[in-house]
Structure 1
Amino acid sequence: MPMFGLGKKKSAATPVQTPSSAPRPSPAPDLATIRGLPKAHTLADHGDPVLAELLGLAEAHDWTALRANLAGYDGHDLSSLVSNVCAQTRDVGQWVPADAADPLAQAVLGADAIERGWEVRTSMRAQHVSQDQFQEFHRMLRVAEDHLYAAVELDPELAAPWYSLMITSRGLQYDLDVKWRRFDALLRRAPGHLGGHRQMLQNLCAKWSGSHEQMHAFAAEAMSGEHGGQLAELVADGHIEHWLHLGDRKGGREYMQQPEVRAELQKAAELTVFRPGYSSPRTPYLAPNLFAMAFGLAGLWTQSVRAFEASAGVVTGRWIYMSGKEPEKFYTNWRNHVIQKASP
């Protein structure tokens, strides 16, 4: 599943790799409740009323209505809606027609095959995944690519298949030049595609055979570009990935508290979650959660509280990076922790 929020499953795009010494703040007292903040909770629709309607249509197996609604969107919006519908509807491939002449059906079937493939692989590290699992995983991703390239041929302007192809290229371990070509193809159809930038950041992570230098340079360039008002969240995402790679025992917390890292986080937040009128497309709570986590790790307590307030109590999947499980519980504990630290 792409990184649009917390669905029914862990993200297909990012295996969980929890540092052994992830912070464990005390859960009491419930300072957030005292301050009138909402109780931590997840939303199946990520706060997106359009997705909520589409999930209802998918539950009813109403492809005609679902397709008609999806057809009204393009770019990041369509990629997000297709991906989240497939992530939260297990039997999409059984009732969406394999219409060889319909690019949208092919894009949906491709996204669904990715989800099913990652279910087989699981989010475990590679050494804990069997050869049989990998074989089936790769088979499903190749099935996905067949659907996605069919969609591309039928509608060369459609961006959603290229978004999904960025995920399959990671799972199939293609070279970085292939990933860049697919990213460039996506941007030619949808400049500033937020989901595509999130996926490219993952492609550049050290855990996916990239490097910290490539990842941070990509995030910094995105922040300074034409679409920085949306893409600056990548800076927080990249620093969290770097912390995750190090772990606290290897200096992860010290890394996050470097002056230059703190300054980058502050700049990125001012462009996004702290900017008046800011709204992230389709998933309004993902960026606030990222910044709440990043500022907390950086020891910028007041800023972390502001980001938590912007999250409105909605918990997204990235908290599994710190907790490994029970993201709502950990979100609650960490929110209390930063409120306490920020108090005079």
Structure 2
Amino acid sequence: MQHTSASFLSRLARPDFDIASAFPEASWLRQTAAARDWASIRSYVDGLPQGTNRSFAVGILQDVRGVEDWMREVLAAAPEDVLALTVLGAREVRIGWKIRTDAPAENVSRKQFAGLHTHLRQAEQALIRATAIDPAFDAAWAERLTTAMGLQLGQAEARRRYDRLTAHHPHHITGQGRLLQQLCPKWGGSWEAAHGFARECMTGAPEGALSGGMVAEAHMEHWISLNGRERVEYLRQPHVHAELVEAAERSTLSPHFRPVYAWVTVQGYFAALFSLVGDHARAAACFHSLGNLASEYPWAELGVNATDAYIKHRNSALAKG
């Protein structure tokens, strides 16, 4: 590949972490929620094509400040509104996790854990109602995977919830990512279980599906858990690179790939890991696909500042790839 000049690299745009830049409907959802136009939101979500990952819409809505109060008002008038129950549950999850923070468990206080559990139990009440009314509502089951993890309900219960989700949505990338977290050692699992599940997701999905990204996420989680020299040695293992190549070529680097919800995150994992293992050609292909689109993860794991980490690895990949 032709060498990329330093002057060209210096002109590249900074990464854009706003999900609305990849999916403009996110901006519409935010504005419509701010206007408290529930009828329009319901109509939009109900009209999404069969198989669409509705966790995308719920994820946008759960970040709207005060939405929990609005959802309680909606539910007072329509107690069986599954979407409102799911948004309320998701918002409670988000509030609880902000109290806990993303710090390692040993750095989280008893008071923070108590706050997390209070909100997760409230979320569970809403989400259990949602899945009882509509057992096929994917976003509610995906949120129940997070509550299962936070409330430490165990691997078997998490897998049961995942199985209920995939009975209706077999390659649900949000659900897969959340169960993968549960299967990591930090949540009581093992690396064998995490990598095994990631491969199961990849091999069970059609060509071009995002599920291959679970292989990349599992390797990233494993790499993050290590320190210093261990990280270098981990990435030097030939099977790690081989698995990443296979997963990328079956998902975001496949000719059958289409940029559906969550693709920016998945492509980011591949870009980051190919950069870290020194496969600059494939990293460059991922960065070209992204343009300047980015999500907080995995870049927040690669340095003090996600923006700086993205720019460092992108510029290196484009210069060397």
**Do both share a fold (TM > 0.5)?**
yes
Paired position in structure 1 for 2:133: 154
Post-superposition offset of 1:29: 4.4
Post-superposition offset of 1:175: 1.0
CA contact (8 A) 2:53 2:138 kept: no
Gaps of 5+ in 1: 1-27
Question: What are the equivalent positions in structure 2 for 1:250-261 lying under 5 Å apart?
Answer: 250-261=229-240
CA contact (8 A) 2:208 2:255 kept: no
Paired position in structure 2 for 1:78: 54
Question: What are the equivalent positions in structure 2 for 1:12-161 lying under 5 Å apart?
Answer: 29=6, 31-33=8-10, 37-45=12-20, 47-73=22-48, 75-87=51-63, 89-96=64-71, 97-98=74-75, 99-161=78-140
Counterpart CA distance in 2 for 1:50 and 1:277 is: 24
Task: Between 122-131 and 224-233, report the one with greater CA deviation.
Answer: 224-233
Post-superposition offset of 1:274: 1.5
Paired position in structure 1 for 2:158: 179
Counterpart CA distance in 2 for 1:138 and 1:166 is: 14
Does 2:307 match 1:331? Answer: no
Counterpart CA distance in 2 for 1:51 and 1:121 is: 26
Counterpart CA distance in 1 for 2:25 and 2:162 is: 26
Q: Rate the CA distance shift 1:277–1:224 in 2: closer, same or farther, 3 A.
A: closer
CA contact (8 A) 1:286 1:316 kept: yes
Secondary structure of the structure 1 residue equivalent to 2:269: helix
Counterpart CA distance in 1 for 2:220 and 2:207 is: 19
Q: RMSD of aligned C-alpha atoms?
A: 1.9
CA contact (8 A) 1:183 1:196 kept: yes
Task: Between 229-238 and 69-78, report the one with greater CA deviation.
Answer: 69-78
Percent of paired sites with the same residue: 32
CA contact (8 A) 1:42 1:316 kept: yes
Counterpart CA distance in 1 for 2:288 and 2:280 is: 12
Post-superposition offset of 1:151: 0.8
Counterpart CA distance in 2 for 1:253 and 1:46 is: 34
CA contact (8 A) 2:29 2:60 kept: no
Normalising to structure 2: TM-score of the pair? 0.91
Amino acid in the other structure paired with 1:236: A
Q: Rate the CA distance shift 1:132–1:119 in 2: closer, same or farther, 3 A.
A: same
Paired position in structure 2 for 1:209: 188
- 1:250-269 alpha-carbon deviations (Å, 9 max, x no partner): 41122112111111111111
Counterpart CA distance in 1 for 2:283 and 2:160 is: 36
The one of 298, 308, 312 aligned to 2:287? 308
Normalising to structure 1: TM-score of the pair? 0.85
Gaps of 5+ in 2: none
Task: Point out the structure with the larger helix share.
Answer: 2
Task: Between 196-205 and 56-65, report the one with greater CA deviation.
Answer: 56-65
Post-superposition offset of 1:244: 0.5
Post-superposition offset of 1:337: 2.3
CA contact (8 A) 1:285 1:316 kept: yes
Amino acid in the other structure paired with 1:235: V
Paired position in structure 1 for 2:177: 198
Q: Rate the CA distance shift 1:233–1:44 in 2: closer, same or farther, 3 A.
A: closer
Does 2:268 match 1:292? Answer: no
Paired position in structure 2 for 1:218: 197
Does 2:216 match 1:236? Answer: yes
Task: Between 41-50 and 184-193, report the one with greater CA deviation.
Answer: 41-50
Amino acid in the other structure paired with 1:64: A
Counterpart CA distance in 2 for 1:205 and 1:151 is: 28
Post-superposition offset of 1:205: 1.1
How many residues were matched structurally? 310
Secondary structure of the structure 2 residue equivalent to 1:106: helix
